[in-house]
Amino acid sequence: MQGGRVVRLLLQALFVLLAVGTLCFAMAELLPGDAAYRIAAGRYGYDVVNSEIAEAVRAELGLDRPALVRWAEWLGQVAQGNLGRSMVLGDPVLHLVAYQLGQTVWLSLVAWLMALALGLSLGLWTALRPQGWARRAVDSLNTVLRASPAFLLGVVLTTLLAVELGWFPVAGHEDASHVFLPALTLALALCPGFTQVVRDAALKQLRSDAFEFAQVKGLPLRVALWRHALPHILLSTLAYAGVQLVLLIEGMVVVETLFAWPGIGHALVHAVIARDVPMIQGTALTMALLFVLLSGAIDLLLHALDPRLADAQAAPANAPTPDTP
């Protein structure tokens, strides 16, 4: 079963590689304006670019060749593990994307852990007090967070924590303190969903026979939660948390741009503006492959942690037919 899932995952990754790369190439070709002029402006600046420089860039990069020829050339490079070179910077796309991906993964993991910690704390707190003021206060906070786009949360946090209080730097990535504000922005956007999932799972476990029996035996509430409820809550939350991690990496564009974080989303924005087709393809491919591979890895992990999932999927195929005695 696991081997079949791995094969399907690899086939999905191959399909995504071809589809996303081709779509990015086609969209870049259809963008308005002169690609050679935009690339030259990205290299030398808009104030010095003229038609002569643009034509030199066009000839250097072969932009006057048919689009089909350039697309086929890109496919051949990808088949050899080469994503080409940035048309603006001249560096290998693979090296640039590797650095940017590291920055995005670092920011995503910090934000994901923050959101998970907040969700577990608030979810368990409100599950233990389902009718109290805590539930109403957390629900009100989650409503505000759900209604607030990420860029608005980022602006508010920057104004309060960076500009007014001076606790954190506004933007950049020089040291660990720079990751806090963008990570908190992303974590607050994820927090309502985590809280709801944890609360629902906790309420289910608190009402279960096993938890009630643990309390009947005389176990303190904290011990009963730790031994009998928390493992099931974490397993129930893992699938949702994994999907959120995937979506978090996919949705980095706004927050990375707002905080000048040198990640893959920020690089994609600049590549589109500069019409840097190899960088557009490289960053988009990386994000799409991350989506496929992380989704597959989470599925494999869930089946490894809970074999009942595999049994449930295999049951319909192995179930006896009505004619079976």
What distance in Å separates the CA atoms of residue 305 and residue 238, rounded to the nearest whole number? 10
Question: Closest Cα partner for 122 from 130, 280, 183?
Answer: 130
Q: What is the pLDDT of residue 320?
A: 46
More confident residue, 96 or 308: 96
pLDDT, the chain, mean: 76
Look at residue 318 and tell me whether its pLDDT is greater than 60: no
Q: 176: pLDDT confidence band, cut at 50, 70 and 90?
A: confident
Q: Which two tokens stand for residue 142?
A: 């989650």
Using an 8 Å Cβ cutoff, are 195 and 116 in contact?
no
Q: Which two tokens stand for residue 214?
A: 């643990």
The residues with which 92 forms a beta bridge, in sequence order, are 85
Look at residue 33 and tell me whether its pLDDT is greater than 50: yes
Look at residue 133 and tell me whether its pLDDT is greater than 50: yes
| Residue where the block lists tokens 């905080």 | 259
Q: Is 320 exposed, middle or buried (0-12, 13-18, 19+ CB in 10 A)?
A: exposed
Look at residue 238 and tell me whether its pLDDT is greater than 50: yes
What distance in Å separates the CA atoms of residue 143 and residue 201, rounded to the nearest whole number? 20
With left for phi above 0 and alpha for psi between -120 and 50, is residue 144 left, alpha or beta? alpha
Provide the b/e sequence for 92-110 (b: ≥16 CB within 10 Å): bbeebbeebbebbbbbbeb
Domains of the chain, by residue range, sit at 2-79, 93-313
Look at residue 223 and tell me whether its pLDDT is greater than 80: no
Q: What is the pLDDT of residue 247?
A: 67
Share of residues in the chain with pLDDT > 70 (%) = 78
Q: What is the pLDDT of residue 269?
A: 83
* Alpha-carbon distances, residue 245 vs 173, 297, 309 (angstroms): 21, 12, 21
Q: What is the pLDDT of residue 324?
A: 41
Q: What is the pLDDT of residue 267?
A: 84
Task: Determine whether domain 93-313 maps to CATH 1.10.3720.10.
Answer: yes
Q: Is 167 helix (H, G, I), strand (E, B) or coil?
A: coil
Look at residue 295 and tell me whether its pLDDT is greater than 50: yes
Question: Closest Cα partner for 252 from 270, 243, 265, 261?
Answer: 265
For residues 79-86, average pLDDT: 78
Look at residue 96 and tell me whether its pLDDT is greater than 80: yes
Q: What is the pLDDT of residue 281?
A: 81
For residues 287-292, average pLDDT: 77
Q: What is the pLDDT of residue 313?
A: 43
Look at residue 297 and tell me whether its pLDDT is greater than 80: no
| Residue where the block lists tokens 């852990």 | 113
Q: 63: pLDDT confidence band, cut at 50, 70 and 90?
A: confident
More confident residue, 235 or 122: 122
For residues 124-135, average pLDDT: 77
* Alpha-carbon distances, residue 216 vs 124, 134, 212, 220, 221 (angstroms): 21, 27, 6, 10, 11
For residues 40-57, average pLDDT: 79
Q: Select the highest-mean-pLDDT range: 76-85, 95-104, 205-214, 240-249.
A: 95-104
DSSP of 209-261 = HHHHHHHHTT--HHHHIIIIIHHHHHHHHHHHHHHHHHHHHHT-HHHHHHTT-
DSSP label of 320: P
